[in-house]
Structure 1
Amino acid sequence: MRKEDVNMYSISNRRYTGSKYKLLDWIEKLILENCEGDSFFDVFAGTGVVSAHMSKHYKKVIMNDFLYSNEIIYKAFFGNGEFDKAVIEKYREQFRKINPNRLKDNYFSENFGGKYFSNNDAKIIGKIREKIKKSKRSLSDREYCILLASLVYSMDKVANTVGHYDAYRKIKNIDDKFVYELINPEKPSDKFSIYRMDANQLVRKVKADIAFIDPPYNSRQYSRFYHILENIVQWKKPKLEGTALKPQAENMSEYCRSDAPEVFADLIKNIDVKYIVVTYNNTYNSKSSSSRNKITLEQIKDILSAKGKTTIYEKRHQCFNAGKTEFDNHKEFVFITKVGEDDGK
């Protein structure tokens, strides 16, 4: 390992609502004890930490998420395209030498400077994004994704938030803290297949031995929670509105709406796997309406039981909390369904 690798970002180095990072060992143990097969389908991959952790056990891993920023991250870490480390390092050194005092304001600093980032950091972030865009033709697809994912991780580390971008902390003088650091990508491999699709459509097109399903359950839309990361990745420079400076709503999930139970039932009905592993937490009792689950534990159980023999496991767990929501006796549940096997009722 190079000396520089010590500071490189691993895939788990993000703040992300609902991340299963702290539950990985428990989830891994349950899957290995109860499921068999060579392929693993992460239907709502989120940060990608579950796929990354479980990949050593499987010949094929399918990753899917509907956020553009997550797709770029998966391609950066796990894509099968080639990349030149020397090229990546050259850009890293170039980006680190950018002097904000010599920069004019740009789209990013005009909108997010002094709010989500310091003015200087925002100018640097905007400048780097423009440089990555202009360099795209001279980069391989994998190199482009690595540079852009590295920007996302470097931004996320210093953002003036509580872990998402629904709001920024009200601080008068935000310190300059941004440092562009690289992610630590895997070697090119054909093991991973990466999608950015509606999950209910994708399950009709792919098949696997084991499906891991961790959908959003409450009304908090991830495309809105992480709008700045989506903005920096797509780089369409949309007009922004409101205190949180969000673009016009797009890429909204049906799992965050009242018809979530019907959408989940459709997913389970049409998924082509031998085992289904669903994670769920009991925030349906939350005092916050936005945190309250759209699907109840009983609905999950009934839907899965119709597909096969279902066993429920539970564990006490302190969930992600931005400070406004109270959870009493919080538990994480894992449902494991053996598809087609009689539930014994």
Structure 2
Amino acid sequence: MRYIGSKERLLDFIYAFVKEKVEYEEEGTLTFADLFTGTASVSRFFRKKGYKIIANDLLTVCVTWAKAALASSNDITFNKLINSNQIKEQELTSLFQNNQDTVLKHLNALSGIEGFIFNEYSPEGKSKRMYFTGENASKIDAIRTQIENWKTNKLINESEEAILLASLLRATNKVANIAGTYGAFLKEWDKRAFNSIMLESIEVSQNDKLEHKVLQKDVQELAADIKADIVYLDPPYNFRQYGAYYHVLETIAVGDSPVVTGKTGLRPWQTQKSDFCYNDKAAKALNEVISRLNSKHIFLSYNTDGILKHEEIIKILSVKGETDYIDVSFQRYKSNGGGSGEIKVKERLYYVRNK
């Protein structure tokens, strides 16, 4: 996934630091709260390591990814849909094909319809915006409509819906005519935009008996209510508001037809804005979250290019107890064509043990 601040490349680094700081002689399964879950890569990773996960984000697209990442094979059978006669007989022919693949095959074969995404985000629609080719935009509309119909008719459960939507969102991102975010579309077509959108299967954990939770709340309001052994915080670190920069994916995840504005077709997003993106609010926001957390172990990922300075973060965390941190260097986030990719920046991982 092209996503600002993704921790996909830093998972082993984060895990090693958590293992170093958290006592493993504690009995039972530890609960790990990922309160800015984003693409849910951290939640998925720690779930595989045997932790009980609480994932949270304010964006519906991120909540969808988290629900898919934490789904279990116990819930992802698609049996009701398969037995409903909505899937064509010729799509059930493969001996080695599982039900998820069968459903995705059906969705990939749908004919496009000229719906909201087509009209607002393709040049063949009324808006003339170049986020997607007309063919891909109409397929997105058709697939999203079909998933919604199955949900309305109770042919798929919440976990199955999340798996299908996560697959659609991932596929959408691969054919989007963008530099990296949906803050703007490219004036010329990127070659990837001409690929036909194709949904692919999502890995599902087998027979996970743990009860994971996915929440959609503001972290500043949620912090005091979190009951977890470990809290991991990965807040925004610069001015980019995720609600605005990923507005198209948010619309697909929500499945609505909002009134959009401006050259980019921006959906209303003010209710999802983060105080962490403002120079004059970020320190107060972090202080509110940290002061309200009751968890024994608190970890914070923050980019050294971020709004908050190292000294500010240490001061805020130190209220809870003795603070430690380590650094890792990695390639700077850049757009498809921007920069050489040689500049290295630091991700700093902080730790404080609650007194």
Instruction: Tell me if the contact between 1:283 and 1:327 (Cα under 8 Å) persists in the aligned partners.
Output: no
Quote the residue 1:193 is aligned against.
213
Instruction: Tell me if the contact between 1:277 and 1:336 (Cα under 8 Å) persists in the aligned partners.
Output: yes
Quote the residue 1:35 is aligned against.
22
Aligned mate of 1:98, from 91, 110, 123:
110
Q: Does 1:145 align with 2:162?
A: yes
Quote the residue 2:305 is aligned against.
283
Aligned mate of 2:41, from 31, 49, 52:
49
Aligned mate of 1:66, from 37, 55, 58:
58
Q: How many residues are paired up?
A: 315
* CA gap 1:142/1:328 in 2 versus in 1, 3 angstroms: closer
Instruction: Tell me if the contact between 2:294 and 2:354 (Cα under 8 Å) persists in the aligned partners.
Output: no
Quote the residue 1:304 is aligned against.
317
Sequence identity (%) = 29
What's the RMSD between the two structures over aligned residues? 2.1
Q: Does 1:236 align with 2:256?
A: yes
Q: Does 1:162 align with 2:179?
A: yes
What secondary structure is seen at the aligned counterpart in 2 of 1:203? helix
Q: Does 1:256 align with 2:273?
A: no
Quote the residue 2:117 is aligned against.
108
Q: Does 1:79 align with 2:71?
A: yes
Cα distance in 2 for residues equivalent to 1:97 and 1:151: 13
Cα distance in 2 for residues equivalent to 1:27 and 1:279: 9
Aligned mate of 1:171, from 166, 184, 188:
188
What secondary structure is seen at the aligned counterpart in 1 of 2:225? coil
What secondary structure is seen at the aligned counterpart in 2 of 1:317? strand
Cα distance in 2 for residues equivalent to 1:265 and 1:50: 23
Instruction: Tell me if the contact between 2:37 and 2:66 (Cα under 8 Å) persists in the aligned partners.
Output: no
Q: CA deviation at 1:324?
A: 6.1
Q: Which digits, 9 at most, give the CA deviation of each residue in 1:63-97, with x for residues without a partner? A: 11111011112112313672215643343122222
What secondary structure is seen at the aligned counterpart in 2 of 1:162? coil
TM-score with structure 1 setting the length: 0.85
Task: Give the residue type in structure 2 aligned to 1:223.
Answer: G
Between stretches 308-317 and 265-274, larger displacement belongs to 308-317
Instruction: Tell me if the contact between 2:31 and 2:230 (Cα under 8 Å) persists in the aligned partners.
Output: yes
TM-score with structure 2 setting the length: 0.83
Cα distance in 2 for residues equivalent to 1:90 and 1:240: 35
Q: CA deviation at 1:276?
A: 1.0
Any unmatched runs of 5+ in structure 2?
Answer: 83-99, 124-129
Q: Does 1:313 align with 2:326?
A: yes
Task: Give the residue type in structure 1 aligned to 2:334.
Answer: N
Any unmatched runs of 5+ in structure 1?
Answer: 1-13, 285-292, 341-345
What secondary structure is seen at the aligned counterpart in 1 of 2:146? helix
Q: CA deviation at 1:30?
A: 1.0
Q: Which digits, 9 at most, give the CA deviation of each residue in 1:229-249, with x for residues without a partner? A: 110111220121112111123
Quote the residue 2:95 is aligned against.
none
